[in-house]
Amino acid sequence: MAGCDLSGVKLKPLLTDLLAGRTAALARAISLVENGRPGFEELLAALHPRLGQAHRIGITGPPGAGKSTLAMQLTKAYRARGEQVGVVAVDPTSPFTGGALLGDRIRMEDVALDEGVFIRSMATRGSLGGLATSTREVCDVLDAAGFDRILVETVGVGQSELAVSGMADSTVLVLVPESGDGIQALKSGVMEIADVFVVNKADRPGGDKLAREIDVTLGFRQGSAFRGIRAHHGLDLAVAGRAPVRQTESADPWKHPVLLTTASKADGVERLVAELDRHHAWMTGSGELSARRRRRLAARTREVVDRAMHRWVWHSTQAEAMVNERLAEVASGRISPYELAGEIVAAVKEGVRV
């Protein structure tokens, strides 16, 4: 790597230390990437050949569903197997500080001092689009640094879990019985991004009912409400009807599990760990893992192009100056922002104002 010394960041030693598993280097590499400081794209480019070892697990669902609690329980379970775990939380609604991942109760003290665990909140950085990209990039750093599992928590039944599906190999959708979110999720199409469904807070009433509703909805999605009923020719519709929408044609479709958990008591976590292992094995065997990773690489390339174009337009052309120059005309109603934008784009394209 020529020109490795950028703005005081010595990329080569950083890379060496990172790959040697030095925690301080990991923290530095992550903040370099997170803040988009000079050299971060070179670092990520150098890490690229090292990617693909980690199992990336997205955990999404409405606020308060228990995603962080589940993430901590999964972390403990993976640590018990001797695996290294990275946790990246993207939660603009409840940023965590000082190493406490949760608003209350289960605190990070359990795992925060463990060398095999690295936790980062992406809570306050960037816009949503930019945030999604930098979250993926932070995951790359963890992957290259040798973490076995990377848990990515994102909040919401909205756009953000659509972003998480693009960053994970396996996506867990966490719902809770008492809120209306479950039903909303079933209607919103969010189900299509999930590989594993978790109905958390099973210690409260309504968990079984929600799990059944999810199961029935999964059946409908596949054009069959009769999953679990054996057809007379011996085909098990429970198996046949469960291929997820985005899954490529497969003779051995993934059967979406719907699990009940009480994360606060670690109930059901073992089963979740097992289903995630099963999903990873299925993805590897079916070719879905490499298909998803290829899609992610294409998406990443587009994102980086977007970012470069954005940077170029606003920092290296006259676009910003044109906005300022003509703002009075827009404000007085003489021209619309659309017309001005059109003029700016035309000018930039022609290079006349560059």
C-beta of 265: minimal distance to ligand GDP in Å?
7
Q: In 10 A of CB 156, how many CB atoms?
A: 20
Check residue 142 for interaction with ligand GDP (CB under 6 A).
no
Q: How far is the CB of 131 from ligand GDP (least distance, A)?
A: 17
Binding mask 268-297 for ligand GDP (x = CB under 6 A): ------------------------------
- In 3-state terms the chain splits into helix, strand, coil percentages (rounded to 5) of 50, 15, 35
- Judged by CB under 6 A, the stretch of 129-137, 214-222, 262-270, 298-306 that binds ligand GDP is 262-270
Choose from ligand GDP, Mg ion, none: what does 262 bind? Cβ within 5-8 Å by kind.
Answer: ligand GDP
DSSP code at position 249: P
**C-beta of residue 200 within 8 angstroms of C-beta of residue 214:** no
Number of residues that bind ligand GDP (CB under 6 A): 18
Q: Quick check: 200 binds Mg ion (CB under 5 A)? A: no
- Encoded tokens for 76: 């403990």
Considering the rule CB under 6 A, would residue 263 count as an interface residue with ligand GDP?
yes
258 binds, among ligand GDP, Mg ion, none (CB under 5 to 8 A by kind): none
Tell me the CA end-to-end span of the chain in Å, nearest whole number. Answer: 31
Choosing from 39, 58, 66, 156, the residue that interacts with ligand GDP (CB under 6 A) is 66
| 104 sits near ligand GDP (criterion: CB under 6 A) | yes
User: Does the protein bind ligand GDP through residue 171 (CB under 6 A)?
Assistant: no
Of 67 and 300, which has the nearer Cβ to Mg ion?
Answer: 67
CB of 219 to ligand GDP, least distance (A): 26
Q: Which residue has the tokens 């519709």?
A: 237
Torsion sign across C-alpha atoms 80, 85, 91, 94: positive
Residue 135 binds Mg ion, judged by CB under 5 A: no
Only one residue has tokens 């010394």, namely: 5
Site for ligand GDP (CB under 6 A): which residue of 54, 57, 65, 185? 65
Q: With CB cut-offs between 5 and 8 Å by kind, which of Mg ion, ligand GDP, none does residue 263 bind?
A: ligand GDP
Q: What is the CA radius of gyration of the chain?
A: 23
| Candidate list 39, 108, 200, 255; residue touching ligand GDP; CB under 6 A | 200
Which option in ligand GDP, Mg ion, none does residue 65 bind, with CB closer than 5 to 8 A by kind? ligand GDP
- Beta pairing class for 9-10 and 5-6: antiparallel
Query: What residue is closest to Mg ion based on CB?
Result: 68
Residues 6+ apart with CB under 8 A from 49: none
Q: Is 68 in the site for Mg ion (CB under 5 A)?
A: yes
Question: 3-class DSSP state for residue 129?
Answer: helix
User: 300 is written with which tokens?
Assistant: 């990443």
In eight-state DSSP terms, residue 34 is: H
* Under 8 Å between Cβ of 54 and 159: no
Distances from the Cα of 193 to the Cα of 29, 228, 256, 353, angstroms? 30, 22, 11, 44
Segment near Mg ion (CB under 5 A); pick from 60-68, 230-238, 253-261, 346-354:
60-68
| Binding interface with ligand GDP (CB under 6 A) | 63-69, 102-105, 200-201, 203-204, 262-264
